[in-house]
Structure 1
Amino acid sequence: MLLYRRPRLSFFSFRPGQRLVVPIMCVSVTFIAIADGAITTVALPSIARQFHLTTAALDGVVVVYPVCLAMAIPASAWLVERCGAKRVLLTALVAFLGSSLLCGAAADLTQLVAFRAAQGLSAGVLFPASAALLFATFDSGEQVRISRYMIVPQQIAPAAAPILGGLLVDNLSWRWVFYVNLPVGLPAVLFGVLFLARHQGHRAGRFDLTGLLLSAAALGSLMFGICEGPNRGWSSAAVLTTLVLGAALLAAAVAFELRTTEPLLKLRLFADRLFRDTNLINLVGLVPILGAMYLGPLFLQQAQGRSALESGTSTFPEAFGVLLTVQVAGVLYTRVGPRIIVGCGLAGVSGVLLLFATCDQDTGLWTFRVYMFLLGIAMGGVFMPTTVASLATIARQDLAQASMLNTVVRQTGGALAPAVVTTALVLSTPAAAAATPPVAAYQHAYLVLAAIAAVTSAFAFTLRDAPARAAAGGGTKASNRTPARARSGKESVH
């Protein structure tokens, strides 16, 4: 007599393919890191009250994060090459979650600043490691398609974070803006441990300690000066000193890295015109885009006297516009190339910013929301095409380095945006009304951003994107890339 024995199914025997696992991990990491940066500012007034400080005294809580993030980025590519993407990504994620827990439990301002610094250091490794993993798993054509979905957390996180932060602070406490990272991050760690394939590092060159010290000090100094310039004044001794010191250290780092045989930063990648031009577009183009996102809530709350909730719900439509355009851009990318998409996108950003410049005290919320939606539609033509095109002609063994340099450029552009906006507001505000900029100051700031977007758009139309179109379409010009095809959980990606 034959007996049928039902096979035993185990959860741990389930092995999803890496082409599913990698995007899930990257989405989780991106959402956590971006949301944390956007949610913290909501809690500052509550933190100030508990520690009996003014909100201005908490400046270090905000500034230390981007400064330490910038300092950690240069080492990320070497770590990925040496230790493998999986190990670096999961270690950095655990460190980020641990420092989030410590931030929530901080007993005083000194502890909070120290733990925020640890958050920034771990985030500086998270972004390049996840990007290198993603771009090593998919080729250029697939990157266009996958970016249509990867853009979701990048847009939802900064739009939803202030609303979530307000709810947490009002109904629980400011500590929960840090604790909230754990319910999302811990499942991501477990998922990565179980299903992310082991990505072997290779024999990286010797560790370039001099390059790390020079580049980290340069980026940290410049980031501090850029972030503090609008608050302390560009002529203040601290700002001028850090900016001059940062520029000198950056020049020294560039000179040293170009001479050494095994540099920590492969700056020679910028000799590739497509890589260089797309990064230049990202650096300058992010200023009007992120500047508008920074300026909108200020205008609604300070110039129009709206509530934080009204402000959050009025800037949120931008995310829907981006998500809509990215789907269209993903279809058009291989047909028309990134040059036309990015150029038209930045031209659209400039046009919408001119509409914002017409807003005054009487502008209704729904008018503002329509403008934000239109801004999102224009922005959606910039993010994905520039990122994918920047790596189209980069050799596979240089993907980690290229992703790291992309991150440096984006973080710098992100820091410049509020600095440009705040400076424009200060210069347009009469001394007698310094505490509250008039409506005209906001209109002038929008005009400045519109001009920057217009100039960047003109440059984008000069982009030589034939290699990017060829890579996305599987052409022979992309033959220097050998993308990793992770067909099973046993495959390795450097």
Structure 2
Amino acid sequence: MSTRLGQRRVVPIMAVLTTFICIIDGAITTVALPSIARQFDLTPAALTGVVVIYPVCLGMVIPASAWLVERYGGRRTLLLSLTAFTVASGLCGAAPNLTALVAARALQGLAAGLLMPTSQVLMFRTFSQAEQVRLSRLMVVPQQIAPAIAPLLGGLLVTDLSWRWVFYVNVPFGAAAVLFGALFLAEHRDHTAGRLDLPGLLLCAVGTAALMYGVCTGPDLGWARPQVLGSLVAGGVLLAIAVRHQLRTPEPILRLRLFRDRLFRDTNLISLVGYVPMMGAMFLGPIFIQEARGGSALESGSTTFTEAFGVLLTMQVVGALYHRIGPRLIIGTGLLGVAGVMLLFATADAQTGLWTFRGYMFLLGLAMGAVFIPTTIASFSTVDRADVAHAATLNTVVRQTGSALAPAVVTSVLVLGATGSERVHPPMASYQLSYFVLAAVALAAGLFAFTMPDGPARSSVTPRPQAVGRRQRQQVG
């Protein structure tokens, strides 16, 4: 078996492990926050640092991921960041106080900021666009299973063992991934890194961190608080300066010139806006079940679980239709479906049955499955091979921004005009208004999706006769 054939098996396994670990960690940690507060005799509000430090550090390091992959290679970057993430998980579990826990979470965020874009680069350097579409039917499985089982797993670990096991659970998975990669993953490097754009990196890192802090803390502290406003303004100014610098630098840390390509620009704009209603609904659902309906954490986890089945089902259809009808119709229809499901959620109240809510979550998954993978694959259709690492970095920045905006939008609408106890326990009308707002955002993104050009995306996944013959010879050999 050739090295390339071997890597066509090894790279997807590494991507699956990386994705699974990152998503599990992101979805499971919130379950442990009340127990952590009790352990250290703190109020839940005092744990803001544990929650906010992760996306802040994540945003700081993502801009450097493309340069690091080109400078040190995909294998070394992925294994070192996986090792750091695994060690940081163990340190989080063993933290003797809040300060140590926040520091370990910071290291986790820095490592996680490299994991997703690096694994994405390895996938796009190993497989063609057509192969990516077919492979997405399998790759979507861990992406959906992880967030579905995380609340259930977290609840079991916190209840039966300790909150520390919410972090310890990452260690065996991370160690297994590092060992497997060290043994079988080959180096992937097809482009030499240029000079490090240190001013651009510092501007992007500090600006993104400031903006993420403001977005994450604004709903809880209040958007008018000086530290929130100051953080948002400082982040916006620094990022504006960073953009100006990137466009004038021969070898920028972020190749913003890639946004000159309409397909790349449109798909990323769709991801940025479309992630708000999709991730917003995933954030709002558990709150609605527990707060508005008075359900338990177990009821919440088992209710949102059905979304994963919807995504898995749709992805099997999307993989077969992508090269026939193109991503434009698939993505646009999916986002309109998300808008429709948001309107169904807006009709829910305290008397809505759990199985009805589960049905809505399943429908949401059906619609979301038409958006996730097609936008990613289409965005790389017109990207040169030498720009793949930078395109993956920009993709990650955009999606992380959309994911951070989602809970900020939802929480802001929930407390809109609320005072006193209503800020802690919003009335039913606030939940329904939140779903209406998410529906409007999804509708806008869906209508825009129908305007994007998808000719290059369709042609990039049409198997050429030479490629078919080459694969057949590989199979015979």
How far off its partner does 1:15 sit?
10
Give the match's secondary structure for 2:149. Answer: helix
Partner residue, 1:291: 280
Give the match's secondary structure for 1:17. Answer: helix
How far off its partner does 1:19 sit?
0.8
Partner residue, 2:471: none
Partner residue, 1:109: 98
How do residues 3-14 of structure 1 correspond to structure 2 at under 5 angstroms? Answer: none
How do residues 342-421 of structure 1 correspond to structure 2 at under 5 angstroms? Answer: 342-421=331-410
Partner residue, 1:452: 441
Q: Residue 209 of structure 1 is aligned with which of 198, 202, 206?
A: 198
Partner residue, 1:41: 30
Give the match's secondary structure for 1:434. Answer: helix
Give the match's secondary structure for 2:415. Answer: helix
Q: Distance in 1 between matches of 2:245 and 2:225?
A: 30
Partner residue, 2:249: 260
CA contact (8 A) 1:80 1:201 kept: no
- Asked whether 1:147 is paired with 2:136, we answer yes
Which structure is richer in relative contact order (CA contacts within 8 A, separation 6 or more)? 1
Q: Distance in 2 between matches of 1:116 and 1:218?
A: 20
CA contact (8 A) 1:429 1:441 kept: no
Give the RMSD, CA atoms, in angstroms.
1.8
Amino acid at match of 1:357: A
Alpha carbons of 1:431 and 1:340: their partners in 2 closer, same or farther (altered >3 Å)?
same
- Structure 1 residue runs of 4+, over 3 Å off? 13-16, 428-432
Q: Distance in 1 between matches of 2:63 and 2:216?
A: 20
Q: Residue 152 of structure 2 is aligned with which of 149, 155, 163?
A: 163
How far off its partner does 1:16 sit?
6.9
How far off its partner does 1:202 sit?
4.2
Higher mean displacement: 202-211 or 134-143 = 202-211
Partner residue, 1:10: none
Partner residue, 1:492: none
Give the match's secondary structure for 1:220. Answer: helix
Amino acid at match of 2:246: E
How far off its partner does 1:333 sit?
0.2
Alpha carbons of 1:44 and 1:392: their partners in 2 closer, same or farther (altered >3 Å)?
same
CA contact (8 A) 2:191 2:386 kept: no
Deviations 1:376-403 (A, max 9, x none): 0000000011000000000001000000
Q: Distance in 2 between matches of 1:473 and 1:239?
A: 49
Alpha carbons of 1:351 and 1:66: their partners in 2 closer, same or farther (altered >3 Å)?
same
Q: Distance in 2 between matches of 1:62 and 1:52?
A: 17
Q: Residue 16 of structure 2 is aligned with which of 10, 22, 27?
A: 27
Amino acid at match of 1:333: Y
Q: Which has the larger radius of gyration?
A: 1
How far off its partner does 1:182 sit?
1.3
How do residues 463-478 of structure 1 correspond to structure 2 at under 5 angstroms? Answer: 463-474=452-463
Partner residue, 1:318: 307
Partner residue, 2:263: 274
Amino acid at match of 1:427: L
How far off its partner does 1:430 sit?
5.4
Amino acid at match of 2:6: G
Alpha carbons of 1:14 and 1:264: their partners in 2 closer, same or farther (altered >3 Å)?
closer
Q: Distance in 2 between matches of 1:264 and 1:335?
A: 37
- Asked whether 1:427 is paired with 2:416, we answer yes
Deviations 1:158-185 (A, max 9, x none): 1111110110011111111111011111
Alpha carbons of 1:464 and 1:51: their partners in 2 closer, same or farther (altered >3 Å)?
same
How far off its partner does 1:433 sit?
2.5
**Structure 1 unaligned residues grouped into runs of 5+:** 1-12, 480-486, 489-494
How do residues 89-100 of structure 1 correspond to structure 2 at under 5 angstroms? Answer: 89-100=78-89
How far off its partner does 1:200 sit?
3.5
- Choose between structure 1 and 2: higher helix proportion: 2
Alpha carbons of 1:139 and 1:428: their partners in 2 closer, same or farther (altered >3 Å)?
farther
Query: How high is the TM-score relative to the length of structure 1?
Result: 0.92
